[in-house]
């Protein structure tokens, strides 16, 4: 028994001695990882986040539609019409739509964002000037100079820019507060502010046109139904609905904001939001050191087998 214990202790001692012979691998690997981490961290461009809180604009439908649902809901149901006591909130639908490919690709083309998405490499704080990769895009001539990927043209489409823009946008619906938090993070603080403002403007404009079109279609349909029915109560329902949809149509043409209103203007971010260079250095150095330890251990095992 004692001989077995002694053999195990001897084996451990031998392994430890062999492992310490390869400590230089751990030291060199960790140092190289540290140097690499510093190089990578310093070459990461600063990012700037523009943040704004949006408040949903309540539609004044409670009085009209709720009363109609209470007074004529049963009668309307017999006629195959759903009044619905409440139309619910468009907020969650709007937030999903804001991140949809169809909306963002249209947004990219309308705001001419492709150079900023695919060619912007840095931002000069002193001159407040955007720096582009000249091998991809020439900002002076406004010409694309890139070597396109396979099956792509020299001039990129909004399809290529969608994923990049999507990664720069973050929306959070704070249900308890009834607010939406919109964050846009890019290399340029000016671009972050502009994209945030443009998103608010375009989503409101889309919902404005959507509500106006739906109201116009509803009015035409209700007018036809009112003329065709002989039931006085139903005719009253139709005219009440026509009045309600007419009010919706008029309200869609009033004000700068139709669905989402910022609580305050988007503030220009003077300080960077990222990257965390310290975390980059710590992370890369740690994993480099860990891999070095594993390599040293494997070399130890191989030397013992020999």
What are the sequence ranges of the domains in the chain?
1-44+275-306, 45-274
In the predicted model, is pLDDT for residue 19 greater than 70?
A: no
Q: At what angle do helices 2-21 and 277-305 cross, to 10 degrees?
A: 130
Instruction: Work out the pLDDT band at 302, boundaries 50, 70, 90.
Output: confident
Class of domain 45-274: alpha beta
Residues in the chain: 306
Dihedral (Cα; 206, 207, 211, 212), 10-degree rounding: -40
In the predicted structure, residue 248 carries a pLDDT above the cut 50: yes
Output DSSP code: residue 271: S
More confident residue, 132 or 77: 132
The pTM assigned to this predicted structure is 0.77
Query: Residue 28: how many CB atoms within 10 A of its CB?
Result: 11
Average pLDDT, whole number, for the chain? Answer: 82
Nearest to 103 by CA among 190, 57, 152, 166: 166
Contacts of 107 (CB under 8 A, 6+ apart): 113, 165, 198, 199, 202
What confidence tens digit (pLDDT) does each residue in 255-278 have?
A: 778 889 999 999 999 888 888 888
Range scoring the smallest mean pLDDT among 43-57, 134-148, 216-230: 216-230
Helix %, strand %, coil % for the chain, to 5? 60, 15, 25
Mean pLDDT value across residues 24-37:
88
| Least confident window among 28-32, 49-53, 117-121, 193-197 | 28-32
Return the H-helix or E-strand segment holding 54: strand 48-56
Check residue 26 and give its pLDDT. Answer: 83
Q: Residue 164 and residue 270: Cα distance in Å, rounded?
A: 23
Whether 6 has a pLDDT exceeding 80, the answer reads no
Has residue 186 got a pLDDT over 90?
yes
Q: How many Å apart are CA 275 and CA 116, to the nearest integer?
A: 19
Q: What is the mean pLDDT of residues 288-302?
A: 84
114/255: higher pLDDT: 114
**Which is more confident, 83 or 292?**
292
Distance CA 27, CA 298 (A): 16
Whether pLDDT at 166 is above 90: yes
Identify which has the larger pLDDT, 2 or 215: 215
Lowest mean pLDDT across 71-75, 172-176, 193-197: 71-75
The pLDDT assigned to 304 comes to 64
pLDDT at residue number 306: 58
> Looking at 18-32, 39-53, 82-96, which range is the least confident one?
82-96
**Residue 181 scores a pLDDT above 90:** yes
pLDDT-derived band of residue 59, with 50, 70 and 90 as boundaries? Answer: low
First to last CA, the chain: 28
Q: Which of 19-23, 77-81, 240-244, 270-274 has the lowest mean pLDDT?
A: 77-81
Bridge partners (DSSP) of residue 261 are: 55
Nearest CA among 285, 306, 287 for reference residue 21: 306
Supply the pLDDT for residue 50: 95
């Amino acid at each position: 028994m004692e001989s077995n214990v002694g053999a195990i202790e001897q084996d451990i001692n031998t392994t430890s001695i062999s492992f310490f012979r390869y400590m230089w691998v751990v030291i060199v690997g960790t140092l190289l990882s540290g140097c690499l981490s510093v190089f990578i961290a310093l070459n990461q461009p600063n990012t700037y986040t523009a943040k704004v809180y949006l408040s949903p604009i309540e539609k004044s439908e409670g009085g009209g539609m709720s009363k109609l649902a209470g007074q004529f809901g049963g009668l309307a149901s017999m006629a195959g019409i759903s009044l619905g006591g409440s139309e619910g909130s468009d907020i969650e639908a709007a937030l999903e739509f804001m991140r949809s490919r169809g909306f963002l690709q249209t947004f990219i083309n309308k705001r001419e964002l492709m150079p900023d998405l695919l060619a912007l490499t840095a931002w000069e704080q002193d001159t407040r000037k955007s720096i582009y990769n000249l091998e991809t895009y020439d900002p002076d001539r406004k010409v694309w100079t890139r070597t396109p990927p396979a099956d792509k043209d020299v001039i990129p489409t909004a399809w290529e820019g969608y994923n990049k823009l999507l990664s720069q946008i973050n929306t959070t619906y704070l249900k308890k507060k009834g607010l939406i938090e919109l964050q846009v993070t890019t290399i340029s603080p000016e671009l972050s502010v502009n994209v945030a403002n443009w998103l608010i403007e375009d989503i409101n404009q889309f919902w404005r046109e959507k509500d106006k079109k739906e109201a116009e279609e509803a009015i035409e349909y209700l007018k036809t139904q009112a003329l065709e029915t002989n039931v006085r109560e139903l005719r009253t329902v139709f005219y009440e609905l026509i009045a309600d949809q007419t009010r919706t149509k008029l309200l869609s043409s009033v004000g700068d904001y139709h669905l989402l209103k910022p609580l305050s203007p988007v503030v220009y971010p003077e300080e960077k939001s990222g990257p965390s260079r310290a975390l980059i250095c710590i992370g890369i150095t740690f994993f480099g050191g860990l891999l070095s330890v594993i390599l040293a251990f494997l070399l130890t095992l191989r030397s013992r087998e020999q």
